[in-house]
Structure 1
């Protein structure tokens, strides 16, 4: 893996290293219709809505989630190209010893 590739992937892995964010990412990606709002996710956690929103914001800022506002709700969708890049970088033959 090249230095630029490592610098690109490190923030994504850092964001996903948090168990709450990893679960949120999985839940959003597998949610019906491929998108979810905070109201769809809060029941799965013993956390406040603002805390869930913060974690979703972190995932959005590193490029793992897209978001769109509809009225008072913000809907999140997994960025398939970011996930594909992450998988390709981790699984590339360049990473092999």
Structure 2
């Protein structure tokens, strides 16, 4: 598996905020309107918009407009890719970076 460290670092950075982790948890139950997500927080709609933009920019969340309302959902494909990346990163596999042809000759 080709591990894309730069792209996944961007996603992990987006998830380093506890509010964004909570938003991901809320969206794990299915699509939600922005107003429904906002009920779980004590910040304003512009702050929610900022968090949603960060999550959309890294590809974990998708949005759609319906009239005046914005609806958000997880991009399950990208979420699964992140999970696979983390599993491969922390697992000794045949194509692991530590299996490089160049062995250390240090003594």
What is the TM-score with the length of structure 2 in the denominator? 0.78
> Any gaps of 5 or more consecutive residues in structure 1?
none
Partner in structure 1 of residue 76 of structure 2: 80
Distance 2:80 2:27 in 1: 16
Would you say how many aligned residue pairs link Structure 1 and Structure 2?
93
Structure 1 or 2: more helix by fraction: 1
Partner in structure 2 of residue 5 of structure 1: 4
Moved over 2 A (4+): 93-97
> Any gaps of 5 or more consecutive residues in structure 2?
93-97, 99-107
Q: Is 1:27 the equivalent of 2:23?
A: no
| CA apart distance, 1:93 | 6.3
| Higher Rg of the two aligned structures | 2
